[in-house]
Structure 1
Amino acid sequence: MLQVAQKYFSSVVSVFLAVLSMAGLSSSALAQMNIEITGVGQSLYPIAVMRFKDEGKLPTSLTDIIRQDLARSGYFKNTENGNASESDEGTPNYKSWAARGADALAVGSVVQTGTGQFEIRYKLSDIRKSESLGGLSINSSADNLRAAAHKIADDIIFKLLGERGIFSTRLSYVIKEGKRYRLVISDADGQNIRNAMNSGEPIISPSWSPDGKKVAYVSFEDRKPVIYVHELATGRRIALSNQKGNNSAPAWSPDGKKLAISLSKDGNTQIYSINADGTGLQRLTRGYTIDTEPQYSTDGRYIYFTSDRGGNPQIYRMSAEGEQAEGAKRITYKQGFVTSPRISPDGKYLAYIANIGGAFRLYILNLATGDAQALTDGTSDESPSFAANGRYVLYSTKVGGKRVLAAVSVDGNSKQVLSIPGSDVRQPSWGPFMD
């Protein structure tokens, strides 16, 4: 059994991390994502998002983006989908809007303040309580309008549901075009795609820093796996680890000062910690099997990882200081073959991929109760990543023979597929909240 596991790990030191067999993408990295939403519940919050006054001055429709964000959340139903606008001055007719079936009303306007510069004003009203919930005034350039719309959608989520919205967060993922590989960054809805890294060799395992300013990843540009830390704003990067053998599976500590990584420099793949500047390498596991895919717990005290020390891959947990500080404890027992641990931001859940009769399927485990449930009925799921609010899990799967990004709510009720027509998309990672 150990030989089988060893063969599995050695042939894909990064299959736990998403593989080298990334399929091809479309001819344009700037192609737009299509979003298909399914399985949302019936008890949706009815909201009227009116067309922003003078929005026609803009190259991008704020109203459409806000409506789409709220629909994708799985919590809202848009009761107004046309082009009618409503004044953002004065008090709305609460009774009239209640009769039209709206529980909340969002209105706004656009004022051009200079060449390519705009002031965007929005107000939100609670129709049920007949009260104003305030609003925002945002100054935006023409090329930053999507961010402004996402900020408004986030504000609506916070004011009506009391939780922080995730529409202003970002995604990273890897695509392949011909023989070229690209690490790209996009908005949370998969739109506004920007290239961060191009290479003629594979790029895998992107991992966001806690402040959202850097992404660590594994690049094969030197014909071997090397871990890099890439500063997105400047394009500056450092080779974090270029040890002999495989360098893989970077994962940031919650304070952003360290990363946990997997190295095979001493033989079999083991877990190490390293400072974010590439100094202070420290070995954390010392087993005779394969330990890989480390993930820090939310409080930074522990590291979850994949190991075949019991025969088949399972998820274990150890002290962030290493096994010598606290021995590894097995966490998963429900399935016989488990990889890709990811911890929810609140530390309550563990997402992972389980092999069920040859089908690789996304599961979620309640760490307090030990209850596990499948979030999908897929056969080719990989690379799970929690949204910053912990409400959704992003992952890669296959639809119609093509790799796509998909997101599912942690209760499994709301699902959405993000695809680029004719393209394959892999290795997703959902970025943190941006202050």
Structure 2
Amino acid sequence: MFRLFSFFLLLCLSVGVRAELTIDIVGGAAQQIPIAVVPFAQSPSPGDNMAAIIGADLRRSGLFRVLETRGVANQPSDAAGVRYAEWSALQAQALTVGNIQTLPGNRLKVSFYLMDVLKQNQLVGMEFEFTPAQYRITAHRIADIIYEKLTGEKGVFATKISYVTRTASHYTLQVADADGFNSQTMLTSKEPIISPAWSPDGTRLAYVSFEKKKPIIYVQSLSSGQRYVLANFKGNNSAPSWSPDGKRLAIVLSHSANSQIYTINADGTGLQPITRSSTIDTEPVWAPDGQTIYFTSDRGGSPQIYRVPAQGGNPQRVTFSGGYNVSPRVSPDGKLLAYIGLVEGRFRVAVQELTSGQVRVLSDTAKDESPSFAPNSRIILYATNVGGRGTLAAVSADGSVKQRLSESGSNVREPAWGPASK
């Protein structure tokens, strides 16, 4: 009989050293917005200019063509200094300018302006005060504001991602900015770490660690580093997934029979069975409304995705395209189901519209795992294998924009995109 849990464990164990991720864009939207981001005036200047971080964020989205500005003689630092004819000649449709001032108490203030070059008017003008340690996150927040104003969608540049790396001697659980910078090691272990899952408020990570020679679910605070055991029942404890309100988690236990779905309070009390079958039920994930749990099961003879009421009940099959579909993830807007499907002999990222059932295969790689939606539902982060090495990749929900994220010399697995920043 096909043993689903064992298969997923083998996939998870082919997971690098701690370093910052580098991101290569290997695709882009057909229609990109040409935007100029002028270097912000600042004295003294830090190693990074804020405009360079903003421009890199916009470029990574695949929706913007960030123009070279060094050839323009006038480099304004506020809205009053903009000469629209110069930027129109550069074929810019939008323009961002700004300046950074040093304040008493080791604080900084950035003023930035987003201009519509075609209509010759100001779209946004804002100020932020911040500390030097908040330099990059402030740049990401500005990029989010620009992105939302010009696309109508929420930006995700100021969010966090987590992932697992593996070296010859140990595993690490990493948390980094969405662009791969500012990575922090949350846990180092000689034994595997798998299945990181963000709490809805972004303050905690649940994950599975094998440090006690068996899979145990922990919950760890990102601010203090303190953690506690959520589930250490007989058998395997795996696949944590937070409810949208953060009060409960769906987990997988094998303490009584085959792997089955349970829910449990975030403090480890109130265990409740959700599925009861003679087959393997695993990989639960909550729908955004908190009323439904999606999961993978081989109850129909091959792995497919099902859903069940969050209080338990009769599961219903969801995926019908192809004979092998696993690792469900529901988009934060509740419209799409992402999963890994076996397509022409390759494990690839696919999405299914939950209302129509229409399926699209998004990735062009062959060994994809662990899809995870961005908070705006537009991008899916996932793990794959390139040249025999584990790496991360991302694809837009419509398949038009593709990116590859990697750490030099590392194997990277188990990505999870954190919630929207507050």
TM superposition shift of 1:178: 2.4
For 1:20, the equivalent position in structure 2 comes to 13
The 10-residue stretch of structure 1 (90-99 or 346-355) with the greater mean CA deviation from structure 2: 90-99
Matches within 5 A, 1:224-239: 224-239=214-229
> How many correspondences in the alignment?
420
Gaps of 5+ in 2: none
The one of 239, 255, 259 aligned to 2:245: 255
Q: State the AA in 2 paired with 1:68.
A: A
Q: Deviations over 1:282-321 (max 9, x none)?
A: 0011101000100111101101000000001100011011
Where has structure 1 moved over 3 Å in runs of 4 or more? Answer: 12-15, 81-85
For 1:194, the equivalent position in structure 2 comes to 184
Separation in structure 1 between the aligned mates of residue 90 and residue 216 of structure 2, nearest angstrom: 58
The 10-residue stretch of structure 1 (159-168 or 341-350) with the greater mean CA deviation from structure 2: 159-168
The one of 400, 404, 411 aligned to 1:413: 400
The one of 352, 355, 360 aligned to 2:342: 355
The 10-residue stretch of structure 1 (55-64 or 409-418) with the greater mean CA deviation from structure 2: 55-64
TM superposition shift of 1:10: 4.7
Separation in structure 1 between the aligned mates of residue 308 and residue 252 of structure 2, nearest angstrom: 15
SS of residue in 2 equivalent to 1:90? helix
Q: Deviations over 1:51-109 (max 9, x none)?
A: 10126522332111111100011111112353873221515222332222111110011
SS of residue in 2 equivalent to 1:57? coil
Separation in structure 1 between the aligned mates of residue 71 and residue 406 of structure 2, nearest angstrom: 27
| Counterpart contact for 2:296–2:305, Cα < 8 Å | yes
Separation in structure 1 between the aligned mates of residue 77 and residue 254 of structure 2, nearest angstrom: 63
| Counterpart contact for 2:79–2:115, Cα < 8 Å | no
Separation in structure 1 between the aligned mates of residue 177 and residue 131 of structure 2, nearest angstrom: 17
For 1:34, the equivalent position in structure 2 comes to 22
Separation in structure 2 between the aligned mates of residue 83 and residue 296 of structure 1, nearest angstrom: 51
SS of residue in 1 equivalent to 2:59? helix
The 10-residue stretch of structure 1 (96-105 or 235-244) with the greater mean CA deviation from structure 2: 96-105
Separation in structure 1 between the aligned mates of residue 172 and residue 404 of structure 2, nearest angstrom: 20
Separation in structure 2 between the aligned mates of residue 144 and residue 40 of structure 1, nearest angstrom: 30
The one of 371, 380, 387 aligned to 2:374: 387
Separation in structure 2 between the aligned mates of residue 206 and residue 219 of structure 1, nearest angstrom: 10
The 10-residue stretch of structure 1 (248-257 or 75-84) with the greater mean CA deviation from structure 2: 75-84
**Structure 2 length-normalised TM:** 0.96
Separation in structure 1 between the aligned mates of residue 320 and residue 244 of structure 2, nearest angstrom: 27
TM superposition shift of 1:262: 0.3
Matches within 5 A, 1:35-434: 35-54=23-42, 57-82=45-70, 85-90=75-80, 92-114=82-104, 116-323=106-313, 327-434=314-421
| Counterpart contact for 1:405–1:417, Cα < 8 Å | yes
Q: State the AA in 1 paired with 2:347.
A: F
**Structure 1 length-normalised TM:** 0.93
Separation in structure 1 between the aligned mates of residue 379 and residue 148 of structure 2, nearest angstrom: 16
| Counterpart contact for 1:14–1:248, Cα < 8 Å | no
SS of residue in 1 equivalent to 2:80? coil
The 10-residue stretch of structure 1 (327-336 or 73-82) with the greater mean CA deviation from structure 2: 73-82
The alignment's C-alpha RMSD in Å is 1.6
Q: Deviations over 1:294-353 (max 9, x none)?
A: 011110110100000000110001101112xxx111000111011100001111111000
| Counterpart contact for 2:79–2:97, Cα < 8 Å | no
SS of residue in 1 equivalent to 2:41? coil
Gaps of 5+ in 1: none
